[in-house]
Structure 1
Amino acid sequence: MLTSLLTLTACARQNDTLPKERALKIPELTLNSKIKSIDALEHSKPSWWAYFQDPQLDHLISLALKHNPDLAIARARINEAQGIARIKGAKLLPNVNANSSIQAAHWTENQFYPPPYGGSDTWNNALNLNLSYSLDLWGRYRDVNIAKRDVLAAAEQEHRAAALLLENNILQNYIRYVQTEALIKNNHELKTVEYKLIYIARMRLQHGLDNATSMHQLQQGLQELNDRKRALTGKSKLFKEELAALAGIGTSFHHPLDVHSLPITRQWQPPTFVPASLVGARPDVIARRWQVEAAAANVRVAQTEFYPNINIVAFLGGLAAAGSFLQFLHVSSAQYGVGPSITLPIFEGGRLRGNLREKSAEYNEAVSEYNETLIDAFKQVAQAITQLDSLSARRRTLHRRLADLRLILDISKKRFSAGITNKESVLQKSADILRLKQKKIDLNAAALENLGTLYASLGGAFMHGTLPDQNTPQS
């Protein structure tokens, strides 16, 4: 019989499939020389930002993980996927339901019912238990269940990916806020030096030792510092508002943020190497992989629709259209039956082939999205590493310039103490050092931002040696 069914089913032919895309494998990729295909000693951690050793940052991210609306949406998607997975999984189990009816009936005397029914009043009651169970010979419902479980697994990973993105966004804005506040402090120190230079220039002008050009240039420089302070103050406010919004508490904080919490001069180093396996374990990459598995299961489901579906159907109950109220529960009123129920696709007008082609296209799309996500993940890691290497080289040059200027400043102070030079020379060298410190603040902030991006790009894995522990002195 089964052979006959399969012969009939051949009328619905699977002749409209698409070539399958292939998922990329990490060893096939050409990567940054610092990304190594070695076993990772580090592992992703939920609290990866704690390596920045900032309690205020910890508090902000804790607030965001509780209150941010984007995470609430991701959690709702997980609950939805859980519900769908349970619905689809139920088809693998026997389905039992009951139905009953209780009716008081009056039988007509003028149609088909002879005495004693015609013209009489009786109970017309019934109770039935119905059972159906799919044999699932081709694994259709099993694959449907697998697909929905994979969708649930993908939703869980997408939730973690959303949390990781949120954590990194807070870290980036927090670093920029601390950077801006450090620049405001530097601006104030530089203005103090400029005021002293203006005072000296004014005295020199009053005594005819200089012309108004020098005074005008110094005043113009002071005006630029005032304009810069106003711009920095505005940026600081914007970063605080962004942090409050990311934390899910509004656009302002009940208490002011501690501007000295995260040292912007914290020592840092670029990583010596990064294990490629950490990139493959990123939650967004894993989510894409689960989506590929779900799409593959859906292709298998579409293929099984070309075959006959066989269910076992049974019923058991009682039926009585006469007698007492409980007559339908007597043995004599029993009815039962059992047998196969067969659904056979023969001519579907191209529906099955169209469905298979659609599911095959969805599989290819899922594979392409996985490949794109994997390459983007490696690109983010490579860019963070390249930026850190570049910043490290620039830091060495900056440190040499600062060392040279400090030496020149020390010499100027000694010459001033000896009466060989004037105070103006000392102040100008101090201003030059403060301007270089501005660059140092910007450089270190960029490095911390890229370190945060690197950790997040590795799924929340900390690279040992890139940041000091709490006992490491800062400079």
Structure 2
Amino acid sequence: MKPAPARFAIGAVLLSSAGILAGCASMHGIAPDATPASAAALQPDAQMRQEAAAAWPQQRWWQAFGDPQLDRLIEIAGAGNPDLTVARARVRLAAAQASAAHAGTLPGIDAKASAQDTLFTRQSFIPPPYAGNFWWSNDAALDFHYALDLWGGDAAALESAKANTLASAAAEQAARLSLQSTIVQAYAQLALQYERRDVLGADLQNRQQLVDIARQRLAAGIGTELELAQAQTGVPVAQAEIDAVDQQIEILHHQLAALSGQGPDAGDALTPPHLQLPQGSLLPSQLPAELIARRPDIAARRWQLEAAAQTIKVARARFYPNIDLVAAVGLQSLGFHHFLTDDALAANVGPAISLPIFDGGKLRANLDARSAQYDEAVGAYNATLIQALQQIADQVTTIRGLERQQVQIDAAVTSAQHAHDLAMRGYRAGLTDYLNVLNAETGLLAQRDRAASLRLHRLAAHAQLIAAIGGGLPPATDDATP
């Protein structure tokens, strides 16, 4: 048996040789090219800068629209929507993978035992009487192994897995926010269709009144069959328009039921919405800086970028020797007579070193692939950040533009209502013909429909703006910006 100094000298030689051989594979010239965008460098436009500072949305941001039925729909959807079930499962999967990566950084102990009735060859080192005969070969041992991780590859793999877990959690939040926004917008469309139905219902009543007036005028000898026929034609037309709106209402009921994870029959219980337009300022003052932490899709991209950066470290560590500390202790014997005695004791301890010398460029290709994936993650992160700022700017412009249009349309509704009242009084008095009434009625209906549509479009734009700035997601507490 070699003395201890000799054994350590041999180990040192092995380590030195492995370090020299590591030079066989070079990382030269392989590195990422892309750079993550800075939110501070992406300034808001003039319209956004003019907005007075507002608070960040509350976690249950949809309650600002003041409709308890909407609140219940979103609550049910949060528990039953299949897409959210998938997103939650992905978070669990990523967390399990992170746990497995953490386990890989810890020491491991394996136990094994075997007993085999073995025929030993006469051409081996086994002497008689064992050679050429069957004997029980018994083995019981505890194996210890620990990866020294001198180059940080295992630690980087663990950090990458943790980042992927956080990315999955942020993606689940993004899916939840998207679902909430979709439900609010579908609900706003439902409110619009109900308002249109009210407008069309009032128009149908007016047209039926016109038929009665036309009959009275004809009976009094001051009307014509043509006027009565024209008035009667408008009734089924108005009824057909109501039927079309009822069809859209039923379809929206089905859509909202499906979004909340329920069957179509659940939509039958929905009643006409009663939505309020949020008032006040639109944008928080911390934009765009806090947008990175508060908007879940950007947070997901940020953590994906961190995970990709860590995989580059893993790929670099593979260029160096892989050194594990291994040991074993146990019992070995031929036959059972001496199996549980001191004579059967066996043990070993020492480093296990592995290093690919000629791999055909596999290590460089792997590092290049990880670098390309990082560049891809940077591109996706930058695109998401830029798109988010564009969406915010677009919604602010849309909301303010719809507000200006609403003022004009409200004035047009008032004017059209006055013209309609004048035409009806003139027709009843026999001073104007039916065509003037029909034109006034058409104009009033069109303006009332525009007014209702604008109001609900403003509400939908508010919902889209809240989603664009991250909904009610609180800011991340862990500063891991790439």
TM-score tier (shorter): 0.7 to 0.9
In structure 2, runs of 5+ residues without a counterpart are 1-11, 474-482
8 A Cα contact 2:315 2:367, kept in partner: yes
Q: Aligned equivalents of 1:221 and 1:52: distance in 2?
A: 37
Name 1:465's counterpart in structure 2.
Answer: none
TM-score (norm 2): 0.84
RMSD (Å), alpha carbons: 3.3
- The DSSP-based 3-state class of the residue aligned with 2:30 is coil
C-alpha displacement of 1:406: 5.5
Question: Which one of the candidate residues 76, 80, 84 is aligned to 1:71?
Answer: 84
Question: Which one of the candidate residues 332, 337, 350 is aligned to 1:319?
Answer: 332
The answer to whether structure 1 residue 341 and structure 2 residue 345 are counterparts is no
- For 2:35, give the aligned amino acid: R
Q: Aligned equivalents of 2:123 and 2:105: distance in 1?
A: 51
Q: Aligned equivalents of 1:253 and 1:124: distance in 2?
A: 70
The answer to whether structure 1 residue 376 and structure 2 residue 376 are counterparts is no
C-alpha displacement of 1:253: 1.4
In structure 1, runs of 5+ residues without a counterpart are 463-475
* 1:430-469 pair list within 5 angstroms: 433-461=444-472
Alpha-carbon distance change, 254 to 187 in structure 1, aligned in 2, over 3 angstroms: closer
* 1:74-473 pair list within 5 angstroms: 74-104=87-117, 117=130, 123-253=136-266, 255-259=268-272, 261-263=273-275, 266-269=276-279, 271-274=281-284, 275-280=287-292, 281-324=294-337, 327-405=338-416, 433-461=444-472
Alpha-carbon distance change, 271 to 213 in structure 1, aligned in 2, over 3 angstroms: farther
8 A Cα contact 1:108 1:119, kept in partner: yes
C-alpha displacement of 1:187: 0.8
Q: Aligned equivalents of 2:423 and 2:227: distance in 1?
A: 21
Alpha-carbon distance change, 5 to 285 in structure 1, aligned in 2, over 3 angstroms: same
- For 2:334, give the aligned amino acid: A
C-alpha displacement of 1:134: 1.0
8 A Cα contact 2:145 2:324, kept in partner: yes
Name 1:472's counterpart in structure 2.
Answer: none
Percent identical pairs in the alignment equals 31
Paired residues, number = 456
Alpha-carbon distance change, 220 to 28 in structure 1, aligned in 2, over 3 angstroms: farther
- For 1:232, give the aligned amino acid: V
Tell me the alpha carbon deviations over residues 123-167 of structure 1, each in whole angstroms, 9 at most, x when there is no partner. 432111111111111100000111111111111111111111111
- The DSSP-based 3-state class of the residue aligned with 2:269 is coil
Alpha-carbon distance change, 35 to 137 in structure 1, aligned in 2, over 3 angstroms: farther
8 A Cα contact 2:254 2:267, kept in partner: no
- For 1:376, give the aligned amino acid: Q
- The DSSP-based 3-state class of the residue aligned with 2:72 is helix
Q: Aligned equivalents of 1:226 and 1:241: distance in 2?
A: 23
- For 1:246, give the aligned amino acid: L
Name 1:6's counterpart in structure 2.
Answer: 19
- For 1:193, give the aligned amino acid: N
Tell me the alpha carbon deviations over residues 196-230 of structure 1, each in whole angstroms, 9 at most, x when there is no partner. 12222233344443445544443444343222112
- The DSSP-based 3-state class of the residue aligned with 1:345 is coil
- The DSSP-based 3-state class of the residue aligned with 1:35 is helix
C-alpha displacement of 1:43: 3.7
Q: Aligned equivalents of 2:174 and 2:377: distance in 1?
A: 17
